[in-house]
Amino acid sequence: MNPATALPDSFTVIEHPLIRHKLALMRRTDTPTPLFRQLLREISLLLAYEATRDLELEMVEIETPLEPMTAPVLEGKKLCIGSILRAGNGLLDGMLDLIPNARVGHVGLYRDPGAGGVLF
């Protein structure tokens, strides 16, 4: 069964072979902590690549060492990466490697078993 079929259209399930492979390595009981962190950083780079796939581009004139040219650059304002504290911070470093000028926001959540769900 495809896990994506039970999700709303606003969700994107990324089933890239490298991500699946790296997740399997992370899940092993004998994976040392430094390797776990490295794999998480690599996965976050791949996720950031997928998440930015549809960013708008604009054509601008630039000067190259040989001659002027028209080149595509990201259009609009700076990007913001939102991390859900605390688990999401592991993904943040790899994404910032790919998008170093991105702004960073944080969302705090906690579970309250008495309230029956997640609270902000």
* Mean pLDDT split into 10-residue runs, the chain, 120 residues: 66 90 96 96 93 92 97 89 84 91 87 68
Number of domains in the chain: 1
Query: Helix, strand, coil shares of the chain as percentages rounded to 5?
Result: 35, 25, 35
How far is residue 114's CA from residue 86's CA, in Å, rounded to a whole number? 22
- Identify the pLDDT of residue 5: 65
- Identify the pLDDT of residue 1: 41
3-state secondary structure of 115: coil
* Residue ranges of E strands in the chain: 57-63, 68-74, 80-85, 103-108, 110-112, 117-119
- Identify the pLDDT of residue 59: 96
How far is residue 46's CA from residue 97's CA, in Å, rounded to a whole number? 11
Residue 19 lies in domain = 3-119
The CATH number linked to 100 is: 3.40.50.2020
pTM given for the model: 0.75
How far is residue 118's CA from residue 111's CA, in Å, rounded to a whole number? 5
